[in-house]
Chains A and B, each alone.
Chain A
Amino acid sequence: MNTSKKVGALVLVELGASGFSLINLKVMGALARLGEFTSLEVDLLVAGKDCAAAAAMAARVPGIRQVLLADDDRCEHQLPETLAPWLAHLAQDYAYVCVGATTFGKNLLPRIAALMDLQPVTDVVAIESANEFKRPVYAGSALAHLRTEQSIKLLSIRASAFGEVALGESSAEVVAITPPPSQTISRFISQQQVQSERPELTAARVVVSGGRGMQAGENFQLLYQLADKLGAAVGASRAAVDAGFVPNDMQVGQTGKVVAPELYIAVGLSGAVQHLAGMRDSRVVVAINKDADAPIFQAADYGLVADLFEAVPELIELL
């Protein structure tokens, strides 16, 4: 049911530590799917400070109408108190407003929605029509198929559910727009980025995750060695994070990050339902655990009942 009239979609571009985040290309992948049901004109909005490079990258997204750029002190750190009222105003001109279902998107989109008196659909994993979407509930134990008649649809896109579009060579026009007015109710104090040479967890082709069975933080070195062999990112269960083995941004699960790599290797990890929610859509799952009854074996394509301290070095050796 492709209408000839084009409707507008606005993508709120996420700026990561390195500029233009990969998640934006996944959001575009979701919009490509939406474009099968309705004819879309897509604008990308880049709001930040010193983000001209990210805007130039955004301009290389194929098939977009334009990039709106607010490069200003007031947009630095993208505080929702600053951005939401302004975006609620800008969003009036669009039929869809989309963002990745990351901490950035989760923080910002509902505040915009409340100001617009709209109910967003978050963590979209499937697009069934121009106004029907699927999202996981109960830690991924079920998929809710929802319809909305709201004239403006606010969506956050789960990265693991959509393919990414590739950046093109040509550039769309970058249009400078007036930044939002400043506000005084919230202030940025500091940020600690976790430094890593490895690929980003939510974007990696291979993920190696450790659980409580790793027994100590230094034993994660084993997993880092394995990951380096495979070009993989390293994740962890909540138990491993709570035990202080690794920082919490490595947590995979309902309350951590949701990943869907080609290959997920779970090491010394029992496989609680909250953890499975974060990796159940991985293409191939491998479990290495000495407890043959661990629930992770139910979710694994290939299970190896073995002591990880023997099996992982052997695996590194063989790769």
Chain B
Amino acid sequence: MKILVAIKRVVDPGVRVRPLADGSGMDIASAKMAMNPFCEIAVEEAIRLKEQGLASEVVVVSIGQQTVQDQLRSALALGADRALHITTESILEPLAIAKVLHALVQKEQPQLVLLGKQSIDGDHNQTGQMLAGLCGYPQGTFVSHIECKGDEVWVTRELDGGLQTLALKLPAVVTTDLRLNQPRYPTMPNIMKARQKPLVVIPLAELGLSLQPRLQTISIDAPKARQQGIKVNSVAELVDKLRQEAKVL
């Protein structure tokens, strides 16, 4: 079984980012970048499936500027076999990303497509569902457990009120939740080896897609700041404040 994993380069989750003062976007020009944590989990799961002998090849793909190759190389160092870099200077919306991935699915014919459930920058939580829709494949979203059973993949999903298990006919699209696995770290020899692995660059224009943005960003602003709070000295004072001042008890 061939697995395609889509990964995204985002601001490192440990970095506090703020909007630019003019509302034109986020102040990320000098921020440390990293692979989106949910994508790391998707890569890890693909590699585990390969280690269990259930997958024959793991292909990683990312869309964006030259710099996304850093994250593709990271994925190769973790154990992916080859990488595809779709080059574009534009920031694409989830629908456009799903269309690009759909074109690659048609080309590569993977049995399983793994994505993170959301990116920690846009927080959309859409791409995997959209891709599944475009491909006509079943979808397993917010997945915390995967089991391959013949021509199906059984997935356990995290819902608001508990857990749900579904059986999906392959080929399928699965998006990962945090509890699916604990991603490994690449070792130095593997980082060296990753440099030799194939990374194919495909200009977005070559896919012949029409990807007009559907949303216009008017501004990106800081949320309303909270008033600076106070420290109380005792539980009794806390209860008093909540009763008299905040009136929530």
A contact set with B: CB distance below 8 Å? 16-17, 77, 79-81, 84, 102-104, 106-115, 117-123, 132, 135-150, 184-194, 202, 206, 230, 238, 241-242, 247-249, 254-255, 257, 262-263, 273-274, 280, 283-286, 292, 297, 299-306, 311, 314-315, 318-319
> Whose C-beta in chain A lies nearest to the C-beta of B165?
A189
> Whose C-beta in chain A lies nearest to the C-beta of B139?
A80
Please determine whether B123 and A136 come into contact, CB atoms closer than 8 angstroms: yes
Residues of chain A lying within 8 A (CB to CB) of residue B230: 301-303
B125 interfacial by beta-carbon distance below 8 Å = yes
| Docked CA distance A303–B11 (Å) | 30
Please determine whether B227 and A111 come into contact, CB atoms closer than 8 angstroms: no
Give the shortest distance, in Å, between B223 (CB) and chain A (any CB). 5
Give the shortest distance, in Å, between B45 (CB) and chain A (any CB). 16
Please determine whether A297 and B248 come into contact, CB atoms closer than 8 angstroms: no
- Taking residues whose C-beta sits less than 8 angstroms from the other chain, chain B's interface range is 35 or more
Query: Contacting chain A: which of B1-9, B60-68, B236-244?
Result: B236-244
Please determine whether A106 and B141 come into contact, CB atoms closer than 8 angstroms: yes
Q: A136-B123, A285-B229 are in contact. Are A189 and B154 (CB under 8 A)?
A: yes
B111 interfacial by beta-carbon distance below 8 Å = no
| Docked CA distance A306–B231 (Å) | 11
Chain B, residues 13-46, CB within 8 Å of chain A (1/0): the string is 1001111000000100000000000000000000
B168 interfacial by beta-carbon distance below 8 Å = yes
Besides the known contacts A111-B133, A191-B163, 7 further A-B residue pairs in the complex with CB atoms under 8 A apart: A113-B95, A141-B223, A142-B223, A147-B216, A285-B229, A302-B229, A303-B231
**What secondary structure prevails in chain B residues at the interface with A?**
mixed
Residues of chain A lying within 8 A (CB to CB) of residue B164: 77, 188, 190-192
Please determine whether B215 and A274 come into contact, CB atoms closer than 8 angstroms: no
Q: A80-B129, A107-B139, A114-B130 are in contact. Are A249 and B214 (CB under 8 A)?
A: no
B55 interfacial by beta-carbon distance below 8 Å = no
Give the shortest distance, in Å, between A85 (CB) and chain B (any CB). 9
For A110, give its contact among B130, B167, B178 (CB under 8 Å). Answer: B130
Please determine whether B222 and A142 come into contact, CB atoms closer than 8 angstroms: yes
